[in-house]
Protein backbone atom coordinates (compact mmCIF):
# COMPACT_ATOMS: atom_id res chain seq x y z
CA UNK A 1 0.00 0.00 0.00
CA UNK A 2 1.59 3.27 -1.13
CA UNK A 3 1.02 6.89 -0.29
CA UNK A 4 1.55 9.42 -3.05
CA UNK A 5 3.62 12.53 -2.35
CA UNK A 6 0.56 14.70 -1.84
CA UNK A 7 -0.74 12.44 0.93
CA UNK A 8 2.67 12.35 2.64
CA UNK A 9 2.85 16.14 2.51
CA UNK A 10 -0.67 16.40 3.95
CA UNK A 11 0.09 13.94 6.78
CA UNK A 12 3.31 15.79 7.64
CA UNK A 13 1.50 19.12 7.63
CA UNK A 14 -1.24 17.76 9.91
CA UNK A 15 1.39 16.30 12.22
CA UNK A 16 3.06 19.69 12.59
CA UNK A 17 -0.32 21.23 13.38
CA UNK A 18 -1.03 18.56 15.99
CA UNK A 19 2.35 19.12 17.62
CA UNK A 20 1.50 22.81 17.96
CA UNK A 21 -1.96 22.05 19.33
CA UNK A 22 -0.56 19.55 21.83
CA UNK A 23 1.19 22.36 23.62
CA UNK A 24 -2.15 23.85 24.56
CA UNK A 25 -4.44 23.13 27.43
CA UNK A 26 -7.37 20.77 26.72
CA UNK A 27 -9.68 23.57 27.61
CA UNK A 28 -8.16 25.74 24.91
CA UNK A 29 -9.92 23.70 22.34
CA UNK A 30 -13.73 24.74 22.94
CA UNK A 31 -14.56 26.76 22.35
CA UNK A 32 -12.70 24.53 19.44
CA UNK A 33 -11.94 27.76 20.69
CA UNK A 34 -8.89 29.51 19.57
CA UNK A 35 -10.82 30.51 16.47
CA UNK A 36 -11.62 34.19 16.20
CA UNK A 37 -14.96 34.84 17.87
CA UNK A 38 -17.42 37.70 17.98
CA UNK A 39 -20.71 37.92 19.87
CA UNK A 40 -21.91 34.49 18.68
CA UNK A 41 -22.63 32.14 21.57
CA UNK A 42 -20.63 28.92 22.02
CA UNK A 43 -22.75 25.85 21.34
CA UNK A 44 -24.14 24.75 24.73
CA UNK A 45 -22.49 21.71 26.29
CA UNK A 46 -19.84 21.41 23.59
CA UNK A 47 -16.65 20.33 25.23
CA UNK A 48 -13.17 20.88 23.91
CA UNK A 49 -11.50 17.78 22.53
CA UNK A 50 -8.59 16.56 24.69
CA UNK A 51 -5.10 17.45 23.54
CA UNK A 52 -3.31 14.93 21.39
CA UNK A 53 0.09 13.67 22.54
CA UNK A 54 0.22 10.66 20.21
CA UNK A 55 2.72 10.27 17.40
CA UNK A 56 -0.12 8.90 15.25
CA UNK A 57 -2.67 10.85 13.23
CA UNK A 58 -5.85 9.58 11.56
CA UNK A 59 -5.69 9.10 7.79
CA UNK A 60 -8.28 8.15 5.18
CA UNK A 61 -7.83 5.91 2.17
CA UNK A 62 -10.52 4.39 -0.03
CA UNK A 63 -13.27 5.52 2.39
CA UNK A 64 -11.62 3.72 5.31
CA UNK A 65 -9.68 5.19 8.20
CA UNK A 66 -6.44 4.16 9.86
CA UNK A 67 -3.42 5.85 11.41
CA UNK A 68 -0.05 7.00 10.14
CA UNK A 69 3.01 8.32 11.94
CA UNK A 70 4.31 11.81 11.35
CA UNK A 71 6.47 10.75 8.43
CA UNK A 72 3.39 9.53 6.57
CA UNK A 73 4.12 5.83 7.17
CA UNK A 74 0.96 3.79 7.75
CA UNK A 75 1.08 2.18 11.19
CA UNK A 76 -2.53 0.99 11.51
CA UNK A 77 -3.95 0.11 8.06
CA UNK A 78 -7.21 1.81 7.04
CA UNK A 79 -10.00 -0.52 8.11
CA UNK A 80 -12.38 1.60 10.19
CA UNK A 81 -15.43 3.62 9.20
CA UNK A 82 -14.32 6.33 11.62
CA UNK A 83 -11.15 7.03 13.57
CA UNK A 84 -10.46 9.90 15.95
CA UNK A 85 -7.13 11.10 17.21
CA UNK A 86 -5.43 9.31 20.08
CA UNK A 87 -5.98 10.56 23.61
CA UNK A 88 -4.70 9.01 26.82
CA UNK A 89 -2.96 6.40 24.64
CA UNK A 90 -6.11 5.09 22.97
CA UNK A 91 -7.86 5.90 19.70
CA UNK A 92 -11.64 5.81 19.36
CA UNK A 93 -12.72 3.87 16.25
CA UNK A 94 -15.98 2.77 14.67
CA UNK A 95 -16.99 -0.08 12.39
CA UNK A 96 -20.55 0.23 11.10
CA UNK A 97 -22.54 1.47 14.11
CA UNK A 98 -20.35 0.20 16.96
CA UNK A 99 -17.53 2.02 18.73
CA UNK A 100 -14.42 0.84 20.55
CA UNK A 101 -10.77 1.72 21.15
CA UNK A 102 -7.41 0.69 19.72
CA UNK A 103 -3.87 0.94 21.05
CA UNK A 104 -1.05 2.57 19.10
CA UNK A 105 -0.06 -0.85 17.80
CA UNK A 106 -3.49 -1.26 16.23
CA UNK A 107 -4.72 -3.83 18.75
CA UNK A 108 -8.39 -3.48 19.68
CA UNK A 109 -8.13 -3.16 23.44
CA UNK A 110 -11.75 -2.23 24.16
CA UNK A 111 -14.18 -4.06 21.91
CA UNK A 112 -16.43 -2.32 19.40
CA UNK A 113 -19.64 -2.69 21.38
CA UNK A 114 -20.80 0.82 22.23
CA UNK A 115 -23.56 2.71 20.46
CA UNK A 116 -21.57 5.94 20.61
CA UNK A 117 -18.37 7.05 22.29
CA UNK A 118 -16.02 9.96 22.93
CA UNK A 119 -12.25 10.07 23.29
CA UNK A 120 -10.60 9.35 26.63
CA UNK A 121 -9.64 12.22 28.88
CA UNK A 122 -8.31 12.03 32.43
CA UNK A 123 -8.52 8.24 32.23
CA UNK A 124 -12.25 8.06 31.49
CA UNK A 125 -14.36 8.06 28.33
CA UNK A 126 -18.04 8.75 27.86
CA UNK A 127 -19.84 5.90 26.08
CA UNK A 128 -23.41 5.30 25.03
CA UNK A 129 -25.05 1.98 25.86
CA UNK A 130 -28.51 1.76 24.42
CA UNK A 131 -30.02 5.20 24.86
CA UNK A 132 -28.00 6.29 27.88
CA UNK A 133 -24.50 7.58 28.52
CA UNK A 134 -22.03 6.55 31.19
CA UNK A 135 -18.25 6.27 31.58
CA UNK A 136 -15.65 3.54 31.18
CA UNK A 137 -12.05 3.31 32.33
CA UNK A 138 -9.11 2.33 30.12
CA UNK A 139 -9.73 -1.37 30.69
CA UNK A 140 -13.24 -1.02 29.29
CA UNK A 141 -14.98 -1.45 32.63
CA UNK A 142 -18.08 0.67 33.22
CA UNK A 143 -17.23 2.85 36.21
CA UNK A 144 -20.18 5.28 36.04
CA UNK A 145 -23.46 3.62 35.09
CA UNK A 146 -25.18 4.70 31.87
CA UNK A 147 -28.03 6.82 33.17
CA UNK A 148 -27.60 10.15 31.40
CA UNK A 149 -29.05 11.53 28.18
CA UNK A 150 -25.76 13.25 27.44
CA UNK A 151 -22.22 13.02 28.74
CA UNK A 152 -19.03 14.83 27.80
CA UNK A 153 -15.34 14.65 28.62
CA UNK A 154 -14.03 14.90 32.14
CA UNK A 155 -12.14 18.15 32.69
CA UNK A 156 -10.29 19.05 35.86
CA UNK A 157 -11.87 16.11 37.66
CA UNK A 158 -15.48 16.84 36.72
CA UNK A 159 -17.64 15.31 34.02
CA UNK A 160 -20.44 17.22 32.33
CA UNK A 161 -23.72 15.29 32.12
CA UNK A 162 -27.22 16.08 30.96
CA UNK A 163 -30.71 14.79 31.66
CA UNK A 164 -33.89 15.45 29.69
CA UNK A 165 -36.84 16.93 31.49
CA UNK A 166 -40.51 16.91 30.62
CA UNK A 167 -41.68 19.31 27.91
CA UNK A 168 -44.29 21.76 29.06
CA UNK A 169 -47.70 21.05 27.57
CA UNK A 170 -48.62 24.73 28.03
CA UNK A 171 -45.63 26.24 26.25
CA UNK A 172 -46.13 27.60 22.74
CA UNK A 173 -42.49 28.53 22.27
CA UNK A 174 -40.67 26.61 19.55
CA UNK A 175 -37.35 26.96 21.40
CA UNK A 176 -38.71 25.77 24.72
CA UNK A 177 -40.28 22.76 23.04
CA UNK A 178 -37.03 21.92 21.31
CA UNK A 179 -34.95 21.22 24.39
CA UNK A 180 -35.64 20.74 28.07
CA UNK A 181 -32.27 19.18 28.81
CA UNK A 182 -30.52 20.27 32.00
CA UNK A 183 -26.83 19.96 32.81
CA UNK A 184 -24.63 19.45 35.83
CA UNK A 185 -21.29 17.96 36.87
CA UNK A 186 -20.24 14.69 38.49
CA UNK A 187 -16.96 13.53 39.97
CA UNK A 188 -15.07 10.36 39.05
CA UNK A 189 -17.14 8.27 41.45
CA UNK A 190 -20.35 9.41 39.75
CA UNK A 191 -21.36 11.67 42.65
CA UNK A 192 -23.25 14.80 41.58
CA UNK A 193 -21.10 17.79 42.53
CA UNK A 194 -23.03 20.58 40.80
CA UNK A 195 -26.78 19.84 40.54
CA UNK A 196 -28.24 18.99 37.14
CA UNK A 197 -30.30 22.14 36.73
CA UNK A 198 -28.27 24.30 34.33
CA UNK A 199 -29.78 25.25 30.98
CA UNK A 200 -26.32 25.23 29.37
CA UNK A 201 -22.98 23.82 30.36
CA UNK A 202 -19.38 24.17 29.27
CA UNK A 203 -16.02 22.69 30.15
CA UNK A 204 -14.09 23.70 33.25
CA UNK A 205 -10.86 25.52 32.57
CA UNK A 206 -8.41 26.77 35.18
CA UNK A 207 -10.94 26.09 37.93
CA UNK A 208 -13.82 28.09 36.45
CA UNK A 209 -16.61 27.51 33.96
CA UNK A 210 -19.06 29.77 32.13
CA UNK A 211 -22.71 29.98 33.10
CA UNK A 212 -25.66 31.73 31.42
CA UNK A 213 -28.60 33.35 33.21
CA UNK A 214 -31.62 35.46 32.25
CA UNK A 215 -31.97 33.81 28.88
CA UNK A 216 -35.25 34.27 27.00
CA UNK A 217 -35.81 31.14 24.87
CA UNK A 218 -37.66 33.24 22.31
CA UNK A 219 -34.78 35.70 21.88
CA UNK A 220 -31.48 34.30 20.53
CA UNK A 221 -28.34 35.29 22.42
CA UNK A 222 -30.34 37.00 25.16
CA UNK A 223 -28.59 35.48 28.17
CA UNK A 224 -25.79 36.93 30.25
CA UNK A 225 -22.51 35.09 30.82
CA UNK A 226 -20.59 34.80 34.06
CA UNK A 227 -18.43 32.17 35.78
CA UNK A 228 -18.77 29.71 38.64
CA UNK A 229 -16.22 27.64 40.52
CA UNK A 230 -16.03 23.88 41.10
CA UNK A 231 -18.51 24.06 43.98
CA UNK A 232 -21.16 25.72 41.80
CA UNK A 233 -20.67 29.14 43.43
CA UNK A 234 -20.96 32.13 41.08
CA UNK A 235 -17.65 33.98 41.39
CA UNK A 236 -17.96 36.39 38.43
CA UNK A 237 -21.40 37.97 38.09
CA UNK A 238 -23.17 37.21 34.78
CA UNK A 239 -22.93 40.44 32.80
CA UNK A 240 -21.29 39.58 29.49
CA UNK A 241 -22.80 39.04 26.08
CA UNK A 242 -20.44 36.14 25.47
CA UNK A 243 -17.51 34.51 27.25
CA UNK A 244 -14.79 31.97 26.51
CA UNK A 245 -13.03 29.56 28.89
CA UNK A 246 -10.10 30.95 30.86
CA UNK A 247 -6.76 30.44 29.18
CA UNK A 248 -3.44 31.49 30.70
CA UNK A 249 -5.25 33.38 33.45
CA UNK A 250 -7.43 35.51 31.17
CA UNK A 251 -10.79 35.03 29.47
CA UNK A 252 -12.17 36.73 26.39
CA UNK A 253 -15.56 38.32 27.08
CA UNK A 254 -17.77 40.72 25.18
CA UNK A 255 -19.92 43.70 26.14
CA UNK A 256 -21.93 45.62 23.56
CA UNK A 257 -20.31 43.65 20.76
CA UNK A 258 -16.80 44.64 21.81
CA UNK A 259 -14.28 42.10 23.09
CA UNK A 260 -11.84 42.40 25.96
CA UNK A 261 -10.15 40.21 28.57
CA UNK A 262 -10.84 39.73 32.28
CA UNK A 263 -8.87 38.08 35.07
CA UNK A 264 -10.30 35.57 37.54
CA UNK A 265 -11.70 38.31 39.76
CA UNK A 266 -13.82 39.55 36.85
CA UNK A 267 -11.73 42.71 36.44
CA UNK A 268 -10.99 43.90 32.91
CA UNK A 269 -7.26 43.61 32.29
CA UNK A 270 -7.67 44.58 28.63
CA UNK A 271 -10.76 46.79 28.08
CA UNK A 272 -13.45 45.71 25.60
CA UNK A 273 -12.46 47.34 22.33
CA UNK A 274 -11.83 44.64 19.71
CA UNK A 275 -14.26 43.76 16.96
CA UNK A 276 -13.01 40.17 16.92
CA UNK A 277 -10.83 38.36 19.44
CA UNK A 278 -9.54 34.90 20.34
CA UNK A 279 -8.34 33.33 23.58
CA UNK A 280 -4.73 33.67 24.70
CA UNK A 281 -2.28 30.96 23.69
CA UNK A 282 1.45 31.12 24.14
CA UNK A 283 1.19 34.57 25.69
CA UNK A 284 -0.56 36.10 22.69
CA UNK A 285 -4.12 36.52 21.41
CA UNK A 286 -5.27 37.19 17.86
CA UNK A 287 -7.54 40.23 17.50
CA UNK A 288 -9.01 42.63 14.98
CA UNK A 289 -9.61 46.31 15.70
CA UNK A 290 -11.11 48.16 12.77
CA UNK A 291 -8.84 47.54 9.81
CA UNK A 292 -5.97 46.36 12.00
CA UNK A 293 -5.45 42.66 12.67
CA UNK A 294 -2.67 40.96 14.56
CA UNK A 295 -1.58 39.63 17.93
CA UNK A 296 -1.63 41.37 21.30
CA UNK A 297 0.25 40.54 24.49
CA UNK A 298 -1.31 40.42 27.95
CA UNK A 299 -1.05 44.18 28.34
CA UNK A 300 -3.21 44.65 25.24
CA UNK A 301 -0.28 45.93 23.17
CA UNK A 302 0.02 44.85 19.54
CA UNK A 303 3.11 42.75 18.99
CA UNK A 304 5.03 43.30 15.77
CA UNK A 305 7.45 40.37 15.93
CA UNK A 306 5.49 37.23 16.69
CA UNK A 307 7.32 34.67 18.81
CA UNK A 308 4.65 32.70 20.65
CA UNK A 309 5.83 31.04 23.84
CA UNK A 310 5.65 27.25 23.72
CATH (domain of 258): 2.40.10
Most confident of 45-54, 129-138, 172-181, 216-225: 129-138
Least confident of 65-79, 179-193, 210-224: 210-224
Backbone angles phi, psi at 288, to 5 degrees: -135, 130
Query: Model-level pTM?
Result: 0.75
Whether residue 10 is found in the same domain as residue 95: yes
CA 235 to chain centre: 22
Does 266 lie in the same domain as 216? no
Rounded to an integer, the average pLDDT of 126-131 is 98
- DSSP lists the bridge partners of residue 270 as 261
Whether residue 145 sits in one domain with residue 26? yes
Q: Which of 247, 270, 298 is the last residue of a domain?
A: 247
Please indicate, yes or no, whether residues 159 and 256 belong to a single structural domain of this protein.
Answer: no
Query: Is the domain of 189 the same as that of 307?
Result: no
Q: Which of 166-175, 229-238, 284-293, 294-303 has the lowest mean pLDDT?
A: 166-175
Range of the domain at 303: 248-310
Q: Is the dihedral of CA 93, 20, 24, 32 positive or negative?
A: negative
Q: Are residues 90 and 217 in the same domain?
A: yes
Residues 284 and 267 in one domain: yes
Our count of domains for the chain comes to 2
Mean pLDDT for the stretch of residues 104-118: 97
Query: Where is average pLDDT lowest: 131-145, 203-217, 275-289, 296-310?
Result: 296-310
**Is residue 46 located within the same domain as residue 104?**
yes
Kindly state the DSSP code that residue 121 receives in the 8-state scheme: B
Residues 149 and 51 in one domain: yes
Q: What is the tens place of the pLDDT at every residue in 237-287?
A: 999 999 999 999 999 999 999 999 999 999 999 999 999 999 999 999 999
Q: How many CA atoms lie within 13 A of 133 on its CB side?
A: 20
* Domain shared by 221 and 106, yes or no: yes
Which of 247, 266, 281 lies at the terminal end of a domain, its last residue? 247
Cα 236 from Cα 262, distance rounded (Å)? 10
Examine the domain organization and report whether 254 and 113 are in the same domain: no
The pLDDT value recorded for residue 90 is 97
**Same-domain pairing of 187 and 224:** yes
Of 208, 231, 247, which residue sits at a domain end? Answer: 247
On whether the CB atoms of residues 25 and 205 are closer than 8 A, the answer is yes
Amino acid sequence: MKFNLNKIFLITFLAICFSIISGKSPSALASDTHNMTQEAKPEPSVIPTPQNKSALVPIQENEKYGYADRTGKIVIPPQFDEARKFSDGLGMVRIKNKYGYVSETGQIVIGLKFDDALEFNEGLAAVKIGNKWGYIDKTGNVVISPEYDEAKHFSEGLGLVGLDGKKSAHSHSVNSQKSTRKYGYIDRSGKIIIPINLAHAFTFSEGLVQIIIDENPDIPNSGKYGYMDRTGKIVITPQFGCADPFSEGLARVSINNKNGYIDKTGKFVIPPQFDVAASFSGGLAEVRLGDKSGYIDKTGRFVENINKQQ
